[in-house]
Amino acid sequence: MNHKTRLLWIFLQYAAALFSARGENAVLKDEFSTESKRLLGIIKYNMRKSLDLDQEGCYLQMDKECLEECGFNATAKTIFIIHGWTMSGMFESWMHKLVSAVMQREREANVVVVDWLTMAQQLYPDAVNHTHTVGLSIATMLNWLQDEQQLPLENVHLIGYSLGAHVAGYAGTYVRGTIGRITGLDPAGPMFEGVTDEKRLSPDDADFVDVLHTYTREALGVSIGIQQPIGDIDIYPNSGEVQPGCAFSEVLAVASNFMEVMKCEHERAVHLFDLSLMNKDHMSFAFQCTGPDRFKKGICLSCRKNRCNNIGYNSRKMRKRHTSKMYLKTRADTPFRGYHYQMKMHVFGRKQSDSADPTFHVKLYGAHNDTGNIFVNVYDGTVGMNLTNTFLVFTEEDVGDLLKIRLSWEGESESWNSVWKSLKQRFWAWNTIPAKSVLEIRRIRVKAGETQKKFTFCAQDPSKTEISPGEAITFVKCLDGWEVKPRKRYRL
Ligand SMILES: *[C@@H]1O[C@H](CO)[C@@H](O)[C@H](O)[C@H]1NC(C)=O
Ligand SMILES: *[C@@H]1O[C@H](CO)[C@@H](O)[C@H](O)[C@H]1NC(C)=O
Ligand SMILES: *[C@@H]1O[C@H](CO)[C@@H](O)[C@H](O)[C@H]1NC(C)=O
Ligand SMILES: *[C@@H]1O[C@H](CO)[C@@H](O)[C@H](O)[C@H]1NC(C)=O
């Protein structure tokens, strides 16, 4: 199939999904129908035996001898990896990377790839329909392992990508007892968004359900990844909408690239998870927040009372809280990890500040390295004049403990809009030079998300706290009590 046909096909798939989502009202059955029985033979449990992924592995069956041959170790962890809807009918490259990352991290674990490729290579609504059967099959396999091998269900971890996440949900629903953990990697959205708990992955499907959402941007009324939170924790890297390095603007918005962009955004969940398996010591954190807007404003960088967590494999189970949503920003490629800072500063409007409309740039000087000039994104578009403003600053490099901050601003007069305005002004009053706005900033309070350290920075020259556009002032740690000690050490 060429790209255009594929593009067309995928749109048809989603359109079909939408229609059937409205009409369908399938009743859950917890036993196999004749049709499911026919399909059961198609589902294969491929236990990986060596890191050499070209080796076939061993097919698990509900048969004691087979388990022994495969070297199934019932006291070790058991990790099932479940793929999603497929067009090619083959394992894609992410599967190989994920399997290898899991095996390297958990060397003794039973790593089993659930192969339901023939049922997944269908029209999307049919593949969705099959998630129920596949989930039931996994539950049956796990029940048998419990009976025959006294497999402790709390050692079982199901990892499902896209539709595979909902397969895991069904497995959790139908198994006898409670599975230890289910990880949903960008669980599929079409036909699952807004449906009741029992028809999709949900927090009661396992003791701990953690979800990464990477492609929840809506197009034509659907999003490929589910938008709503469906786990005990739901992590939305980069708001879960657009992943850096994938966006249309970066990949050119031609139709043939649509699939590439989609794959890049949807699969980012798997790649973030891979990295979390490989980097036990350099973990990315996500911060609890009621929504992406508050996070972008820098309000949510707290780790108090378990408000932050590691992302991916290293996530810890947390007590139920009023929101399961967590956020972080990432870099465009590996290592995706970056560093978050909350900056709070009171902006005094001094001269002509009413029309200042400033944008800030900061440069951070750390014990290890310095950043470039970072544009400070003002989330709601305007800096509150004569108010304390909070910003989120993200750096790709680890600069170490902060030593200095250089701050500059540009006013309206630098934007095109205002060039036009000032031209008009000059036209009417050509002999008056427009007065420059002046802002005053005395202190910047900074909190580093990754270390939870707080510092207060004061203007290096206390007599020079007023800044005109284009100027910069440097802030250093205030002489008295510049470090605000965290109340308690956070072990992450
Ligand atoms: C089975 O797994 C357990 C726990 O990881 C380990 O202690 C034991 O050595 C393993 N047994 C075999 C035969 O590999
Ligand atoms: C789902 O599959 C069952 C058989 O397993 C079938 O009876 C039913 O019509 C299917 N539903 C849809 C919406 O395709
Ligand atoms: C900020 O306060 C100064 C003096 O306190 C005042 O002159 C200025 O108009 C205020 N600016 C705004 C935008 O409120
Ligand atoms: C400092 O950061 C720059 C990028 O900003 C990077 O190229 C350089 O390798 C870093 N140096 C150290 C010592 O980490």
DSSP-assigned letters across all residues of 391-457: EEEEESS---SEEEEEEEEE-GGGSHHHHHHHHHHHHHSTTPPPPPPEEE--EEEEEETTT--EEEE
Q: Residue 140 — very low, low, confident or very high, per pLDDT cuts 50/70/90?
A: very high
Please indicate, yes or no, if residue 26 is contained in any of the structural domains.
no
Q: In whole angstroms, what is the distance from residue 447 CA to residue 302 CA?
A: 9
Per-residue pLDDT tens for 78-137?
999 999 998 888 899 999 999 999 999 999 999 999 999 999 999 999 999 999 999 999
Q: In whole angstroms, what is the distance from residue 26 CA to residue 174 CA?
A: 16
Mutating to test ligand 1, I would choose from 68, 108, 149, 156 the residue with most ligand atoms within 8 A of its C-beta, which is 108
Strand partners, 286: 309
Q: Kindly report the number of other CB atoms within 10 A of residue 79's CB atom.
A: 24
Q: Sheet of 325-328: strands edge to edge?
A: 58-60, 44-47, 110-115, 78-82, 156-161, 179-185, 206-212, 233-237, 325-328, 285-288, 308-310
Q: What is the rounded average pLDDT of the residues 306-334?
A: 91
In degrees and rounded to multiples of 5, residue 128 shows phi and psi of: -60, -45
pLDDT, position 23? 35
Q: Which two tokens stand for residue 475?
A: 């802030």
User: Which contiguous run of DSSP H or E holds residue 210?
Assistant: strand 206-212
Q: What is the rounded average pLDDT of the residues 42-46?
A: 93
Please indicate, yes or no, if residue 249 is contained in any of the structural domains.
yes
From the CA of 446, how far away is ligand 3's center (Å)? Answer: 25
Q: Do residues 205 and 60 share a domain? A: yes
Identity of the amino acid at 218:
E
pLDDT, position 16? 47
Q: Residue 5 — very low, low, confident or very high, per pLDDT cuts 50/70/90?
A: very low
DSSP assignment letter at 277 = H
- Whether a cis peptide bond, with omega within 30° of 0, leads into 434 is no
Q: What is the rounded average pLDDT of the residues 151-173?
A: 98
Please indicate, yes or no, if residue 459 is contained in any of the structural domains.
yes
Q: Do residues 275 and 420 share a domain? A: no
Q: Do residues 207 and 87 share a domain? A: yes
Task: List, in order, residues 6 or more apart from 429 with CB less than 8 Å away.
Answer: none
Please indicate, yes or no, if residue 391 is contained in any of the structural domains.
yes
267 or 10, higher pLDDT:
267
Domain boundary among 308, 328, 348: 328
Q: What is the rounded average pLDDT of the residues 402-424?
A: 71
Q: What is the rounded average pLDDT of the residues 6-21?
A: 48
Nearest to 391 by CA among 342, 440, 327: 342
Q: Do residues 304 and 371 share a domain? A: no
Residue 52, annotated ligand binder? Answer: no
We report the CATH number of the domain holding residue 376 as 2.60.60.20
Most confident listed range (39-53, 165-179, 399-413, 418-432)? 165-179
We report the CATH number of the domain holding residue 55 as 3.40.50.1820
From the CA of 108, how far away is ligand 1's center (Å)? Answer: 6
Please indicate, yes or no, if residue 158 is contained in any of the structural domains.
yes
Q: Check pocket membership of 385 for ligand 3, CB cut-off 6 A.
A: yes
- For residue 355, pLDDT beyond 90: no
Q: Residue 19 — very low, low, confident or very high, per pLDDT cuts 50/70/90?
A: very low
- For residue 487, pLDDT beyond 80: no
Tell the residue nearest (CA) to atom 1 of ligand 3.
349
Tell the residue nearest (CA) to atom 4 of ligand 1.
76
Domain boundary among 279, 297, 328: 328
Domain boundary among 328, 357, 389: 328
Atom number of ligand 1 nearest to Cα 109: 5
Q: Do residues 363 and 395 share a domain? A: yes
pLDDT, position 321? 75
The C-alpha angle with vertex 330 and arms to 324 and 333, in degrees rounded to 5, equals 135
Q: Do residues 50 and 128 share a domain? A: yes
Q: Check pocket membership of 351 for ligand 3, CB cut-off 6 A.
A: no
Q: Check pocket membership of 71 for ligand 1, CB cut-off 6 A.
A: no
- For residue 47, pLDDT beyond 80: yes
Please indicate, yes or no, if residue 194 is contained in any of the structural domains.
yes
From the CA of 341, how far away is ligand 3's center (Å)? Answer: 28
Q: Please report, rounded to a whole number, the percentage of residues in the chain having pLDDT higher than 70.
A: 82
Q: Check pocket membership of 24 for ligand 2, CB cut-off 6 A.
A: yes
- CA torsion through residues 485, 317, 165, 159, sign: positive
CA gyration radius, the chain: 27
Mean pLDDT for the chain overall: 85
Q: Do residues 421 and 286 share a domain? A: no
Q: Check pocket membership of 73 for ligand 1, CB cut-off 6 A.
A: yes
Q: Which domain holds residue 345?
A: 339-428+435-477
Q: Do residues 377 and 309 share a domain? A: no
Residue 357, annotated ligand binder? Answer: no
pLDDT, position 131? 96
Q: What is the rounded average pLDDT of the residues 330-346?
A: 94
Q: Do residues 100 and 190 share a domain? A: yes
Q: What is the pTM assigned to this prediction? A: 0.87
Q: Do residues 202 and 77 share a domain? A: yes
- For residue 435, pLDDT beyond 80: no
Please indicate, yes or no, if residue 3 is contained in any of the structural domains.
no
Q: Do residues 163 and 237 share a domain? A: yes
From the CA of 81, how far away is ligand 2's center (Å)? Answer: 25
E strand map for 14-170: 44-47, 58-60, 78-82, 110-115, 156-161
Contact between 67 and 60 under an 8 Å Cβ cutoff? The reply is yes
357 or 277, higher pLDDT:
277
Please indicate, yes or no, if residue 22 is contained in any of the structural domains.
no
Q: Check pocket membership of 75 for ligand 3, CB cut-off 6 A.
A: no
The gap from C-alpha 221 to its chain's centroid, in whole angstroms, comes to 21
pLDDT, position 8? 43
Q: Do residues 317 and 375 share a domain? A: no
State the total domains in the chain. Answer: 2
